[in-house]
Amino acid sequence: MNFFLETLRVILMCIYYLLEFFLSFIFARKKNIAGEIVLITGAGSGIGRLMALKFARLGAVLVLWDVNLEGNKETARLACKIGAARVHEYICDCSKRQEVYQVADQVKKEVGDVSILINNAGIITGQMFLDTPDMLLEKSIQVNTMAHFWTVKAFLPAMVASNHGHVVTISSAAGFNGVNKMADYCTSKFAVLGFAESLASEMLAMKKNGIKSTIVCPYLVNTGMFDGCETKWPCLLPIINPEYAAERIVSGILRNERYILMPRVLYFCNVMKSILPAKMVDVLYDYFGVLQVMNRFKGRTKMTED
Ligand SMILES: NC(=O)c1ccc[n+]([C@@H]2O[C@H](COP(=O)([O-])OP(=O)(O)OC[C@H]3O[C@@H](n4cnc5c(N)ncnc54)[C@H](O)[C@@H]3O)[C@@H](O)[C@H]2O)c1
């Protein structure tokens, strides 16, 4: 194809997809996921648990993974209580490659091929970089990043074979903004964002357009993970209600949204960060309270002790 025709084709496609994007706000087409096998890592509490309950109501087959036996059991119990068709819970430390592969094989035998994979398990240490023990730095990367490699390796091949599936990556607003006292966390969340974009690009190159990708980047969600953190201007950057976060994520998955940033002001911040002078961005970070956000961080005390 010559340069002129190719350029014209791309311009027309861009206009089409721009229109499709704006129309999607009015005519929200949602896919039916009844009977689909949905695996959620970190399903034993917080956003993972709430998403599981929403998928249960939509008729999905649930596969729940967590290191926390009690939390995972409780999620399964709640899902059954609201009428989930099938719920399968597994103890799995997603940071351990062999354990992920072993439990994944068990899931394939006992439940079937996972078609919606939600990499949600996460931890935060919340200390200044130089004060963070090496072991915790490594753990953050193993849980928040490497775990995505192992689960995708385990479940993507079946999606590719059937050209059907969805990989959901729970990153963070800290996945495109460096924040003090979050060096390891930000590193891990930037990394999964890059990983998810690269995977989506590989699917595009392989013409596997039946495999969708959703990358989720929330600001603070009130689940306990970031206990103690405060937002400077709640009217501009509110702390998100977990129920709202889970609802927004599930509805974004059903609409095959590529990126979900919460609250919406983050879309604007993301663009501004790319085009404004660096010193101006520093002033704005300070204004938005990004430099102080972790000052009173307590987090999940049990997790820190472990
Ligand atoms: N809460 C927030 O403010 C916030 C903001 C942005 C992004 N996120 C991300 O959202 C995701 C869910 O966070 P949440 O707020 O629900 O936290 P949460 O602490 O309530 O849930 C995390 C779950 O992951 C599980 N988990 C931890 N390590 C694991 C491992 N090695 N293997 C398996 N499971 C493991 C925990 O047991 C827990 O059930 C995380 O990836 C987090 O980084 C949270």
Distance from C-alpha of 86 to C-alpha of 51, rounded to nearest angstrom: 15
**Does the structure show a pLDDT above 90 at 303?**
no
Q: Could you say which of 16, 17, 101, 185 is catalytic?
A: 185
Task: Give 151's contacts (C-beta < 8 A, 6+ positions apart).
Answer: 39, 41, 94, 100, 104, 117, 119
Yes or no: say if 76 and 153 are a contact pair by the CB < 8 Å rule: no
pLDDT top residue among 172 and 8? 172
> Quick one: average pLDDT of 2-12?
89
* Nearest protein Cα to ligand 1, atom 5: 220
> How sure is the predictor about 1, in pLDDT bands with cuts at 50, 70 and 90?
low
Distance from C-alpha of 202 to C-alpha of 220, rounded to nearest angstrom: 31
What does the pLDDT read at residue 145?
98
Q: What is the pLDDT of residues 187-212, one digit of tens each?
A: 999 999 999 999 999 999 999 999 99
- CB atoms under 10 Å from CB of 238, counted, come to 16
**Does the structure show a pLDDT above 90 at 300?**
no
Distance from C-alpha of 238 to C-alpha of 221, rounded to nearest angstrom: 9
What does the pLDDT read at residue 25?
75
* Nearest protein Cα to ligand 1, atom 42: 122
Separation of CA 10 and ligand 1 centre (Å): 40
Query: Which ligand 1 atom minimizes the distance to the CA of 45?
Result: 39
Q: What is the pLDDT of residues 112-147, one digit of tens each?
A: 999 999 999 999 999 999 999 999 999 999 999 999
What does the pLDDT read at residue 83?
84
Strands 86-91, 211-218: pairing is unpaired
In percent, the amount of the chain with pLDDT more than 70 equals 98
Query: Which ligand 1 atom minimizes the distance to the CA of 229?
Result: 3
**Does the structure show a pLDDT above 80 at 167?**
yes
Among this protein's residues, is 185 annotated catalytic?
A: yes
Distance from C-alpha of 146 to C-alpha of 130, rounded to nearest angstrom: 22
Say how far residue 181 (Cα) sits from the centre of its chain.
Answer: 21
Distance from C-alpha of 6 to C-alpha of 177, rounded to nearest angstrom: 36
Distance from C-alpha of 141 to C-alpha of 56, rounded to nearest angstrom: 30
Closest CA to 57 of 80, 29, 40, 41: 80
What does the pLDDT read at residue 157?
98
pLDDT top residue among 231 and 199? 199
Average pLDDT of the chain to the nearest whole number = 94
Q: What is the pLDDT of residues 10-29, one digit of tens each?
A: 999 999 888 888 887 777 78
What does the pLDDT read at residue 20?
84
**Does the structure show a pLDDT above 50 at 216?**
yes
**Does the structure show a pLDDT above 70 at 306?**
no
Separation of CA 239 and ligand 1 centre (Å): 16
Separation of CA 21 and ligand 1 centre (Å): 30
Site residues for ligand 1, CB cut-off 6 Å: 41-42, 44-48, 65-68, 71, 92-95, 120-123, 143, 170, 172, 218, 220-221, 223-226, 300
* Nearest protein Cα to ligand 1, atom 23: 42
What does the pLDDT read at residue 181?
95
Please provide the DSSP assignment of 233-250 as one string. -TTTSPPBPHHHHHHHHH
Separation of CA 208 and ligand 1 centre (Å): 30
* Nearest protein Cα to ligand 1, atom 41: 122
Distance from C-alpha of 100 to C-alpha of 114, rounded to nearest angstrom: 14
* Nearest protein Cα to ligand 1, atom 43: 122
What does the pLDDT read at residue 280?
93
Separation of CA 106 and ligand 1 centre (Å): 23
Yes or no: say if 145 and 188 are a contact pair by the CB < 8 Å rule: yes
In percent, the amount of the chain with pLDDT more than 90 equals 83
Yes or no: say if 151 and 119 are a contact pair by the CB < 8 Å rule: yes
Question: 3-state class of 215 per DSSP?
Answer: strand
Distance from C-alpha of 67 to C-alpha of 143, rounded to nearest angstrom: 11
Q: What is the pLDDT of residues 65-103, one digit of tens each?
A: 999 999 999 999 999 999 888 999 999 999 999 999 999
Query: Which ligand 1 atom minimizes the distance to the CA of 142?
Result: 31
